[in-house]
């Protein structure tokens, strides 16, 4: 067991712990960005350029921060983003994050996740493989096991170049397996780079589950997503692990929200490190945010308990930020997708700052 003597006050404390105590190859895998890591770092820096214009005397004595995503209530607008190979951070792996999103490249099976959290809100994140029968069976397994939505990842026709993984010759330890793909005979690099928008219709023919598309960064693709009938969009650049020097997700969020015009729910991931970041994302139109690396840092610290600590800190910071910004809602879940907290955010193009009020 790793020592746990640090006082955990903010998410950066969990990051420091994970960096210190995880094996270097595991830390490098989780931390990796593509090429120069410009986009990975910009995801965080972009939040720091957003400024609040707080309002006073607004009666923030009582706040209800619950919300709904696709009709299901959650305690506050933060979920767990799909990230790979959780057993590199903690022995129970994805079982400890079973109340969040599960991905194809999991070191625990769909069945193990369902058993670990039978009442949890679980979405299944899907990559489409060249062997379409394997993808089809995964979709049907997920639906049969009670997963409530499919998350189609659109930004990974090929894996981005992550230099530390190349240097380290990264591969899973022999005792870890990608359990959801066992038995399908899939070769390495079996993802299908020929996937197009029409494949959403193919997915729709397989399942009645809502389809959420992950990896959208532009107005044009947001409009295509709506046109092809998805129920949600996750504004994401894969944590800066795919195409380097693309937009930070919080910057892309504004463009996507404007294009969607409330027709589907819009979420965002990447760069969220404080409760005030959550508030900024919601102020700019996101219905909910997802955290990736911070969830892994929590796992590395103390498994499911560490992850719950991360979520508790974010929840406390979010509630405090709402109060100090002067925002009160009888029910966050009743907010219109286009209302964005009644916070009008304007871009200040000369210095790339945004101001929210």
Query: How confident is the model over 3-56, as pLDDT tens digits?
Result: 555 689 999 999 999 999 999 999 999 999 999 999 999 999 999 999 999 999
The pLDDT assigned to 269 comes to 98
The answer on whether 153 is annotated among ligand-binding residues is yes
The answer on whether 272 is annotated among ligand-binding residues is yes
The answer on whether 196 is annotated among ligand-binding residues is no
Q: Which residues contact 212 (CB under 8 A, 6 or more apart)?
A: 123, 149, 150, 151, 152, 230, 231, 232, 233, 234, 267
Is the pLDDT at 343 greater than 80, yes or no?
A: no
Looking at residues 332-348, what average pLDDT do you find? 45
Dump the DSSP string for 2-59: ----S---SHHHHHHHHHHHS-HHHHHHHH--STT-HHHHHHHHHHHTEEE----S--
The pLDDT assigned to 94 comes to 53
Is the pLDDT at 347 greater than 50, yes or no?
A: no
Q: Which sequence positions are flagged as catalytic? A: 238
| Secondary structure (3-state) at 269 | strand
The answer on whether 355 is annotated among ligand-binding residues is no
């Amino acid at each position: 067991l790793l020592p746990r003597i640090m006082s955990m006050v903010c998410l950066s404390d969990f990051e420091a712990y994970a960096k210190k105590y995880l094996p270097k190859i595991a830390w490098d895998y989780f931390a990796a960005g593509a090429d120069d890591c410009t986009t990975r770092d910009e995801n965080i820096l972009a939040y720091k350029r957003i400024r609040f214009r707080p309002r006073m005397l607004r009666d923030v004595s009582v706040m209800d921060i619950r919300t709904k995503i696709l009709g299901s209530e959650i305690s506050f607008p933060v979920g767990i983003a799909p990230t790979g190979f959780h057993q590199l951070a903690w022995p129970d792996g994805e079982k400890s994050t079973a109340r969040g999103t599960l991905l194809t490249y999991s070191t625990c099976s769909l069945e193990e996740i369902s058993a670990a959290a039978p009442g949890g809100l679980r979405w299944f994140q899907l990559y489409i493989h060249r062997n379409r029968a394997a993808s089809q069976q995964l979709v049907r397994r997920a639906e049969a096991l009670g997963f409530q939505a499919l998350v189609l990842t659109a930004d990974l026709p090929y894996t981005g170049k992550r230099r530390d993984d190349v240097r380290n010759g990264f591969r899973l330890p022999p005792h870890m397996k990608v359990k959801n793909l066992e038995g399908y005979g899939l070769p390495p690099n079996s993802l299908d780079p020929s996937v197009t928008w029409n494949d959403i219709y193919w997915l729709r023919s397989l399942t009645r589950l809502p389809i959420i598309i992950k990896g959208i960064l532009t107005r044009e693709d947001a409009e295509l997503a709506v046109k092809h009938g998805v129920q949600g969009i996750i504004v994401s650049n894969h944590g800066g692990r795919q195409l380097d020097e693309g937009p930070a997700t919080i910057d892309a969020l504004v463009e996507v929200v404007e294009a969607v015009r409330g027709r589907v729910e819009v979420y965002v991931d990447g760069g969220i490190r404080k409760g005030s970041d959550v508030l900024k994302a919601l102020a700019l139109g996101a219905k909910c945010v997802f955290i990736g690396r911070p969830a892994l840092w929590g796992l590395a610290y103390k498994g499911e308990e560490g992850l719950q600590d991360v979520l508790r800190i974010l929840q406390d910071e979010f509630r405090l930020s709402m109060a100090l910004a002067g925002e009160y809602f009888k029910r966050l879940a009743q907010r219109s997708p286009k209302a964005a907290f009644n916070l009008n955010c304007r871009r200040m193009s000369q210095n790339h700052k945004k101001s929210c009020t």
